[in-house]
């Protein structure tokens, strides 16, 4: 790169750093004074550098404003001001936003984040996909995103919704007669394994806790809803109304779902005390990644000879660390799914002690 271009880039970086400082305001004369402490530059040169920053000389065009007070500022539209170290979380944030990038507001937020920190994390431009989530991707189906917005809109307006729904065990979605009309007050949308679920109260249930219903977005006919109108209104102009905050409090929603993993619960049965053993790598993993905040390690055993796992190196019983863990949570399919991932390195405390089953568990696929 020619020396003149190198000098220009360095000046532009300095100018961006100066006018990004919210604690100090800089006029053109102030910028000339500061820049000339390191470089030789006239007011015409500084003015040209500012235009270059607006044109994207540092990678992304900057929205630089000249205020009525005669000072320059970069308009970031209230994007948080991360430090040089914190800004390296931007790749993580953009990954989190990625499933929703088709929404205009989210797309604009991602653009502003990248714009603001284009210089601070410029070294990341040389990387390819530096951060990735390995959990199932959240759906980016436009119909699902639109449905999400419509349901939240009804929550805000305090209006019930209605839709046709197929049970999760029904697969013939092409049969338009094979569904049921549901009229509900929506309470919350929950995500599980990349899929959205609606938790709602049927309109005629008197808002009782045991009447809470769970609906998978994928089973809503055509992924479409409409406002629920009062059935005794012949003109169909008067919608069923509710106060979202009051209804959430009445059903004690947060308390109800606090001991839950996932979306499917049985409030009438309540949470249970569950205890299990974890061995070897599973013990390390469950400690590092608790599956619920109620998790407690209640006992541990060193150098346990497991009855059901053979050490491939020795051909004998595996000798490893075992811990005993407890939770107070609902027994749900999602919990079974999570615990099943540990295969024969986790077992219940009712049928076995810390040494595990007497024979190998068949977990082969």
DSSP annotation string for 193-215: TTEEEEEEEETTSTT-GGG-EEE
Question: Residue 103 falls within a domain, yes or no?
Answer: no
Q: Is the pTM of this model over 0.75?
A: no
Place of tokens 């949570």: 329
Question: Residue 42 falls within a domain, yes or no?
Answer: yes
Range of the domain at 288: 272-348
Cβ contacts of residue 124 below 8 Å, gap of 6+?
Answer: 88, 90, 91, 130
Based on the domain organization, do 240 and 286 belong to the same domain? no
Based on the domain organization, do 208 and 279 belong to the same domain? no
Query: 28-32, 228-232, 277-281: which range is least confident on average?
Result: 228-232
Element (H, E) at 96: helix 90-97
Based on the domain organization, do 228 and 285 belong to the same domain? no
Question: Residue 131 falls within a domain, yes or no?
Answer: no
Based on the domain organization, do 321 and 242 belong to the same domain? no
Question: Residue 304 falls within a domain, yes or no?
Answer: yes
Percent of the chain whose predicted confidence (pLDDT) is above 70: 76
What digits encode the pLDDT tens for the residues 302-311? 999 998 898 9
What digits encode the pLDDT tens for the residues 330-340? 998 889 889 99
Question: Residue 122 falls within a domain, yes or no?
Answer: no
pLDDT at 125: 54
Question: Residue 332 falls within a domain, yes or no?
Answer: yes
Based on the domain organization, do 315 and 244 belong to the same domain? no
Confidence of residue 346 (pLDDT cuts 50, 70, 90): very high
pLDDT at 79: 54
Based on the domain organization, do 304 and 243 belong to the same domain? no
Q: How far is 134 from 333, CA to CA, in rounded Å?
A: 21
Query: 14-18, 83-87, 93-97, 120-124: which range is least confident on average?
Result: 120-124
Q: Given a cut of 70, is residue 348 above it in pLDDT?
A: yes
Place of tokens 């305090």: 158
In 3D space, the residue among 94, 87, 97 whose CA is nearest the CA of residue 123 turns out to be: 87
Query: 14-23, 149-158, 192-201: which range is least confident on average?
Result: 14-23
Domain boundary among 226, 257, 288: 257
Question: Residue 320 falls within a domain, yes or no?
Answer: yes
Cβ contacts of residue 226 below 8 Å, gap of 6+?
Answer: 161, 162, 163
Question: Residue 325 falls within a domain, yes or no?
Answer: yes
What digits encode the pLDDT tens for the residues 138-183? 666 788 888 988 999 899 889 999 999 987 665 555 555 678 899 9
Q: Given a cut of 70, is residue 117 above it in pLDDT?
A: no
Tally of structural domains, the chain: 3
What CATH number has the domain bearing residue 38? Answer: 1.10.10.10
């Amino acid at each position: 790169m020619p020396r003149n271009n190198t000098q220009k880039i360095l000046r532009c970086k300095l100018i961006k750093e100066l006018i990004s400082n919210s604690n100090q305001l800089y006029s053109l004369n102030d910028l000339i004074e500061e820049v000339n402490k390191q470089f030789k530059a006239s007011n015409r040169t500084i003015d040209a550098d500012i235009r270059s920053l607006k044109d994207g000389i540092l990678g992304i065009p900057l929205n630089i404003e000249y205020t009525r007070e005669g000072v320059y500022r970069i308009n970031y539209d209230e994007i948080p001001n991360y430090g040089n170290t914190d800004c390296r979380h931007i790749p993580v944030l953009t990954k989190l936003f990625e499933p929703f990038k088709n929404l205009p507001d989210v797309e604009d937020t991602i653009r502003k984040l990248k714009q603001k920190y284009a210089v601070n994390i410029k070294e990341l431009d040389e990387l390819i996909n530096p951060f990735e989530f390995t959990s199932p991707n959240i759906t980016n189906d436009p119909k699902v995103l639109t449905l999400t917005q419509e349901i939240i809109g009804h929550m805000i307006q305090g209006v019930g919704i209605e839709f046709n729904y197929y049970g999760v065990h029904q697969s013939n979605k092409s049969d338009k007669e094979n569904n049921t009309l549901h009229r509900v007050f929506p309470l919350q949308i929950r995500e599980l394994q990349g899929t959205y679920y609606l938790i709602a109260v049927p309109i005629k249930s008197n808002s009782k806790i045991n009447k809470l219903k769970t609906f998978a977005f994928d089973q809503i006919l055509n992924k479409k809803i409409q406002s629920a109108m009062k059935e005794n209104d012949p003109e169909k102009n008067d919608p069923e109304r509710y106060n979202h905050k009051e209804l959430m409090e009445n059903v004690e929603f947060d308390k109800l779902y606090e001991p839950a993993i996932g979306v499917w619960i049985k409030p009438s049965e309540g949470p249970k005390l569950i205890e299990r053993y974890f061995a070897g790598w599973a013990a390390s993993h469950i400690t590092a990644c608790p599956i619920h905040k109620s998790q407690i390690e209640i006992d541990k055993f060193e150098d346990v000879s497991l009855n059901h796992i053979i050490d491939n190196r020795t051909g004998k019983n595996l000798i490893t660390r075992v811990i005993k863990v407890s939770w107070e949570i609902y027994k749900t399919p999602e919990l079974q799914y999570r615990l099943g991932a540990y295969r024969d390195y986790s077992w219940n405390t009712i049928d076995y002690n810390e040494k595990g089953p007497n024979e190998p568990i068949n977990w082969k696929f």
